[in-house]
Amino acid sequence: MAGEALPYLELGGEPLEDDLICRFRVEPEVGTSLERAANALAAESSIGTWTDVAALTPELRERLRARVLAADDRGVVIAYGAVLFEGGNMAQVFSSVAGNIFGIKEVRRLRLEAVRFPKTVAASFQGPARGIQGIREVLGVTGRPLVGTIVKPKIGLDPKAQAQVVYEAMSAGCDVVKDDENLTSQSFCPFEERLRACLDAAKRAEDATGNAKGYIPNVTAPTEVMLRRTGLVAHLGGRFAMVDLVTAGWSGVQSLRGAGMGLILHGHRAMHAAFTRVPEHGIAMEVIARSARLVGIDQLHVGTAVGKMEGSREAVLRSARALRAWPSEDGTMADGQDWRGVLPAMPIASGGLHPGHVPDLMSLFGPEVILQFGGGIHGHPGGSAAGTKAVRQAVEAVLAGLTLERASSSAPELRTALAFWKAQG
Residues involved in catalysis? 152, 268
Kindly list the strands in the beta sheet with 75-81, ordered across the sheet, starting from the edge strand earlier in the chain.
67-72, 75-81, 19-28, 107-116, 282-283
CA distance 94 to 100: 10
CA distance 239 to 371: 19
CA distance 284 to 22: 12
Q: Which of 310, 309, 321 lies closest to 366 in space, CA to CA?
A: 321
Please name the amino acid found at residue 183.
Answer: L
Strands (E) across 29-163 are located at: 67-72, 75-81, 107-116, 146-150
| 383 phi-psi bin (left φ>0, alpha ψ -120 to 50, beta other) | left
- Is residue 404 a contact partner of residue 355, using CB atoms and an 8 Å limit? yes
- Is residue 294 a contact partner of residue 122, using CB atoms and an 8 Å limit? yes
CA distance 375 to 128: 29
Nearest-10 Cα torsion for 241, 282, 119, 7: -150
Exposure string over 396-405, b if 16+ CB within 10 A, otherwise e:
bbbeeebebe
- Bridge partner list, 241: 265
- Calculate the alpha carbon distances from 133 to 130, 136, 264, 276, 376 in Å: 7, 5, 11, 29, 27
Burial label for 132, CB within 10 Å (0-12, 13-18, 19+), is: buried
Determine if the peptide bond prior to 153 is cis (ω within 30°): yes
Residue 326: DSSP 8-state = P
